[in-house]
Each structure stands twice: as C-alpha cells, then as structure tokens.
Amino acid sequence: MMKIEAIIQPSRFESVKEALLEIGIEGMTVTEVRGHGRQKGHTEVYRGREYTVDLLPKIKLEVVLADGLVNRAVETILKSAKTGKIGDGKIFLTRVDEAIRIRNEERGESAL
Amino acid sequence: MKRMGVACCLLLTLVLSACPLRAQQTTTSTSAPPASASSAEASQAINDKLSDLDKRVAAAQSSADNGWMLVSAALVLMMTGPGLALFYGGLVRHKNVLAIMMQSFALMGWITVLWALVGYSLCFGGNGPVIGDFGHLFLKGVGIDANPDYAATIPQMTFMVYQLMFAIITPALITGATAERMKFSGTLLFMTLWFFLVYAPMAHMVWGKGGILNASLGGKFPTLDFAGGTVVHITSGVSALVCALYLGKRVGYPKHPMPPHSLVLSFIGACLLWVGWFGFNAGSALSSGGLATSAFVATHFGAAAAACSWSLAEWFKNGRASALGAISGAVAGLVAITPAAGFVGPMPALVIGFIAGIFCYWMVAKFKAIFGYDDALDAFGVHGAGGTIGALLTGIFARAIYNPIYGAGKPTGGLDGHWSQVGYQLVGIAFAWVFALVGTIVILKIVDAVTGLRVMEEQEIEGLDITQHGEEAYNLES
C-alpha cells in the first residue's frame, strides 16, 4: 500500500478530483495548506505599508492505494494538475504499513 | 382567559378616555368672531388668533427640529457602535478584534454615566471661559424646556443627549493608536481622566457659554468649529500620537506584517460612519432648516471628494486604488469637513475634501514611515491631521451667506474678506493641540502608575481578546 500526497494549485483541484473519480478512486483526504517552493509570493499594500506574502494557498490531497493502482493514479494527477507554470506543486509517495477500516475493523488492502 | 381579555379592553377604554390626548388640546375654533361684536373685541380676537398661530408655528418648528435632533443623536451613537467598532475591528488582527470593539462599547456605557452625573454640567453649564460648572449636576435643570443659550427650539434634554454622543465617540477614536497592546483597565482609567481633563475643557471653550473660543457666543478668540474639528478630531488625534509614542511599537512592528484581518468589517464600518456623520455634522445645526441642509450637503461632498483624491493619490503612487485607501479617504474627508460643514458652500466642500484626502494619505503613507511611530490604526494621521487641515481651511472658506455666525451682514471667513479668522482658527487649533498634548502626557503618567498601560509581551502575542476578555472572536469549529 502506498500513500500519494499531492500538493497542487487550488484552481486545479476540481479537475484532479473528477479525474481520480473517473479511474475509480473515491477515497481521499483534502486539506487547505499554505506554502511555497521556488514560487515567489505577491506584495500587498495597506495604507502605504508593503507586505510580502510568500506563503501561498495550496490544496493537499492524500490518497492511500493498493500498489497496483498507484502508477495510474500518479499519472492521472500529473495530467490534471499540471499548468506548466512555477507553483504547480509536488507529489510524494510513501509506503503505508497498515490500513484499518474503523467501522468493521477490516485490515489490509480490503480496508482501502 | 376570555373574561380577562374583556376586562382589559374595558380598562384600556376607560384609561384612554380619561387621558387628555394631545390632538384635542391643540384644536381651536376656526369660526370668525360674531359680526355684532365691537371693533375692539374683534381686533382682540384677531390678536388672540395670531398669537395662537405663533405658538403653533413655533411648536411645529420645534417638532421638526426635535425630530431631526433625536435622529441625529441616534446617528452619532451609531457612528461609535457599530461604525467605529467595525472600522477599527476589521483593521486589527483577528486575535484583537473583540478588544477594540469592547473599548468602544465600554465607552458607550461609561461615558454616558459620567455625562449624566457631571459631564454635561462641566461642558455646558455656567459661563466660565475654560470650563463649565456643577449647576447641572445630576442633570438638574435639564428638562423639556429649551435652553436658549444653545438651542432655542428643542428641549434641553435633546441637546444634552445629542452632545453626549460626541463625548462618547471622541475618546473612542484614540483607541486606534493604542490598539493591540493597551490594557483594558488602563484604557478605562485613561478615558475617564481624558474626558475630564481634555474633552470637557475643550468642548466648553468652543461650544459652551462663556468659552473663550466660542464663535457664536462672543468668545475672545472665536474659532469656527461647526461640529467638532478641534474638539473631537484634533484632541483625539493628537492624544493618539502621544499615546502611540509613549506606549511604544507593537511587538514585531514594523518588521512583521500585520495586515487587517477583515477589510469587509472595515468597509461596513466606514459606510456606517459616513451615514452617521450626517447626524454628526448636519445635526450640529441644532435645527432642521436650511443650515442643516447646507451642512448635510457639505459633509457628503467632502467625503466623496476625499475618497476620490486618496484613491487618486494611491493610483499614482502604487499603480492601484485599494479598498482600504478609498474608505480611509472618505473618513479623512469627513474629518476635515467637520469644522467647516455649516460654514462653507458645496464647492469649497469639494475642495476641502480633495485636499484632505491627499494630505491625510501623505500623513499615513509617508509621514508615519519617516518618523516610525506605531499609530496602529492611523488615528493621528486621519483625525489629528485631518482635523487640523479642516479647521484651517474652515477659516478660509467660511462665508456668512451660509451661516451668519457673527450677526447678519458680518463677514465670517476669508472668502468674506475676514482673513483674521484664519488667525483665530490657528488659536483654536493651538489650544486643541496643547490641551491634548499636555493633558495626555499627564494622564499617561498617572495611568502607568495606577493600572499600567501595556499588556505583557506574552499577552500581546497571544492576543488581547483571550488575555483581556477571555474570549475568542471567531469559533468557526463550534
């Protein structure tokens, strides 16, 4: 089992969600986060005072999948999240040791 | 149940028929005197009718004036709550929004009590040159009868409650400079002392009978201040500057960004201030006739022109006009037109507003940065500076055709040829600056010794809402 952690542009989120749904992936956790890589922020001005805002809003998507589905999911995310500009985000893959469904305490890949 | 209802209706009918209804008292006969009466009796009857007509006209004028004045009083109170509370509230960080609102609200309660007990008497009682007296302690002698020294057509109680709203908002303005770091207890003590040592003398000198700056009651240095440019804005603005310097900068200022947490709240507050200001300025006519109209129009034009000029200045400087700039401009214009409202025409009102917008923008964006003081919400930059420039321009643009304050036919301001008025304005401005400066330093020293002024650094970082009031403004998860 692998966890896919994708940090993407908020404007791409709806497309990514729909694309994942289309390939049969329905379970995900979504968080609103702030951050930056090499993308510069923007300047705001209030009554003559300038503020540099360098923590930009992003969406973090987390899905845990059986090994066999991971590659397809990663490709789907890449395709739907990409704009080609700096600030598109990143995808991280980590191995998951165990998954448990709380309702009936099922374990393993059938719990996903 | 039903029997009770019938009993109540009967009781109500009995009570109503026993009470003399006002309408019944004011109707008089409209029939002509009988033809057989002698000419002396006929002329007496006509005189009676004419004097009765006089009384009714006066009563009608009184009703109109009183109606407008009560509405104006309500409008000015609205300027504090929620106008100023929202305007300031939106500009602070969210951890401090309740604290700043609480300070305004506390004044709504506390200043009212002080005013009722002794404040009105100190401001408008007696005929001393600098301060009133205790003649109206506990509002003695303040009832439905008019006080012709101040407003001949409205109950003195109306005048009293109208002036109270000014006494509430003036100290509230100062909270803009001490925002995000002043103790609540310190604020209350400060405001109490400030009310007695700065506001009351200034209000009496400019508006009170015998006051040396009173233009309408023969003061020695008649300062034209229609609605409070000196009394309200210069005093609070200069006090704000002194407080900002004495208290010191907020933790992290100016390095850490502290942008407004909700310009939406500030926007709503600013618009409420604009509308409320019609009560503040046009209500200062103390009547509902042409002078109120003149002041109303000047007020609106001043606000609009200043909003435009501040935005223009920003567009020039930053390439964009901001919402915060536009609303700040409107407020600056309203401040500047406050002393001028009932003395100037519509075109000068536009000019005054235009100048104020640019001047206050410069004060806030440039001057503050040069000297580096932390006037958190620009109380000095907008009110102190705006009030000063407004008071000065009033001396230039005041004209007797709008308000013959020195008597019919006598020139009022510069445009009338009475250029020495500008000199008198400078005297009034100087009085306001000195009283505010000296008074505030003294008060700060006292408050520092008694309750302390500033919260501890950890409390400032955690936020005033939690540490001073035990509350969080937004509990979005609950």
Which residues make beta-bridge pairs with B456?
none
- CA-nearest residue to A47 within chain B is B365
Q: How far apart are the first and last CA of chain A?
A: 9
Q: What is the dihedral of CA A11, A15, A17, A21, to 10 degrees?
A: 180
* CA B238 to chain CA mean position, Å: 16
Cβ contact B254–A48 (<8 Å): no
User: Minimal Cα–Cα distance from A53 to chain B, Å?
Assistant: 9
Q: What is the pLDDT of residue B26?
A: 42
Question: Which chain B residues touch A47 with a CB distance below 8 Å?
Answer: 324-325, 328, 364-365, 378
ipTM of the complex: 0.76
- Enter the tokens of residue B161: 């409650």
> Whole-angstrom Cα distance, residue B337 to residue B274?
12
Amino acid code (one letter) for B402: Y
Q: Which of B324, B361, B369 has the CB atom closest to A46's CB atom?
A: B324
Q: Are the beta carbons of A35 and A58 closer than 8 angstroms? A: yes
Q: How many CB atoms lie within 10 A of CB B210?
A: 19
Quickly name the fold that domain B64-469 has: Ammonium transporter fold (1.10.3430)
Q: Quote the mean pLDDT of chain A.
A: 93
Question: Which chain B residues touch A51 with a CB distance below 8 Å?
Answer: 257, 259
**B286 Cβ partners below 8 Å, 6+ apart?**
B65, B69, B150, B151, B154, B159, B162
Cβ contact A46–B254 (<8 Å): no
User: Minimal Cα–Cα distance from A59 to chain B, Å?
Assistant: 20
> Whole-angstrom Cα distance, residue B181 to residue B103?
12
- Closest by Cα among B381, B438, B445 to B190: B445
Q: How many CB atoms lie within 10 A of CB B419?
A: 13
b/e map of B161-181 (b: 16 or more CB within 10 Å)? bbbbbbbbbbbbbbbbbbbbb
Cβ contact B259–A46 (<8 Å): yes
Question: Which chain B residues touch A48 with a CB distance below 8 Å?
Answer: 317, 361, 364-366, 368-369
Amino acid code (one letter) for B435: F
Q: Are the beta carbons of A67 and A1 closer than 8 angstroms? A: yes
> Whole-angstrom Cα distance, residue A107 to residue A92?
24
User: Minimal Cα–Cα distance from B141 to chain A, Å?
Assistant: 48
- CA-nearest residue to A53 within chain B is B257
Q: Which of B259, B320, B365 has the CB atom closest to A48's CB atom?
A: B365
- The structural domains of chain A, ordered by start, are 2-111 (3.30.70.120)
Q: Establish, for the pair of chains A and B, how many residue pairs have beta carbons separated by less than 8 Å.
A: 28
Cβ contact B260–A51 (<8 Å): no
Read off the pLDDT of residues B134-147 as tens digits, 9 standing for 90 and up.
999 999 999 999 99
- CA-nearest residue to B311 within chain A is A47
Question: Which chain B residues touch A44 with a CB distance below 8 Å?
Answer: 259
Question: Which chain B residues touch A52 with a CB distance below 8 Å?
Answer: 257
Q: How many CB atoms lie within 10 A of CB B283?
A: 28
- Closest by Cα among B164, B169, B162 to B103: B169
What residues of chain B have any CB closer than 8 angstroms to a CB in chain A?
A: 254, 257, 259-260, 317-318, 320, 322, 324-325, 328, 361, 364-366, 368-369, 378
Q: Which of B254, B257, B364 has the CB atom closest to A47's CB atom?
A: B364
Angle, in degrees to the nearest 10, between helices B200-207 and B420-450 = 160
Coil/strand/helix, residue B176 = helix
Question: Which chain A residues touch B368 with a CB distance below 8 Å?
Answer: 48
Q: Where are the domains of chain B?
A: 64-469
Q: What is the pLDDT of residue B287?
A: 95
- CA-nearest residue to A44 within chain B is B259
pLDDT band at A51 (very low <50, low <70, confident <90, very high): confident
Read off the pLDDT of residues B229-266 as tens digits, 9 standing for 90 and up.
999 999 999 999 999 999 999 999 988 889 999 999 99
Would you write out chain B's pLDDT as a tens digit for each of its 478 residues? Answer: 666 666 655 666 555 554 444 444 444 444 555 555 578 888 999 999 999 999 999 888 899 999 999 999 999 999 999 999 999 999 999 999 999 999 999 999 999 999 999 999 999 999 999 999 999 999 999 999 999 999 999 999 999 999 999 999 999 999 999 999 999 999 999 999 999 999 999 999 999 999 999 999 989 999 999 999 999 999 999 999 999 999 999 999 988 889 999 999 999 999 999 999 999 999 999 999 999 999 999 999 999 999 999 999 999 999 999 999 999 999 999 999 999 999 999 999 999 999 999 999 999 999 999 999 999 999 999 999 999 999 999 999 999 999 999 998 899 999 999 999 999 999 999 999 999 999 999 999 999 999 999 999 999 999 999 999 999 999 988 8
* CA B84 to chain CA mean position, Å: 12
Q: What is the pLDDT of residue A49?
A: 83
Q: What is the pLDDT of residue B11?
A: 61
Taking the alpha carbons of B101, B106, B111, B113 in that order, is the dihedral positive or negative?
positive
Q: Are the beta carbons of B176 and B377 closer than 8 angstroms? A: yes
Question: Which chain A residues touch B375 with a CB distance below 8 Å?
Answer: none
What residues of chain A have any CB closer than 8 angstroms to a CB in chain B?
A: 44-49, 51-53
- Closest by Cα among A30, A28, A11, A31 to A20: A28
Cβ contact A46–B260 (<8 Å): yes
User: Minimal Cα–Cα distance from A68 to chain B, Å?
Assistant: 38
Cβ contact B328–A47 (<8 Å): yes
Q: Which of A47, A52, A53 has the CB atom closest to B365's CB atom?
A: A47
> Whole-angstrom Cα distance, residue B341 to residue B33?
49
Cβ contact B366–A48 (<8 Å): yes
User: Minimal Cα–Cα distance from B434 to chain A, Å?
Assistant: 28
Max Cα separation, chain B? 95
Which one of A47, A49, A53, A55 would you mutate to disrupt binding with B, by most B Cβ within 10 Å of its Cβ?
A47
Q: Where are the alpha helices (DSSP H) in B377-469?
A: 379, 385-397, 420-450, 457-462, 464-469
Q: How many CA atoms lie within 13 A of B264 on its CB side?
A: 2
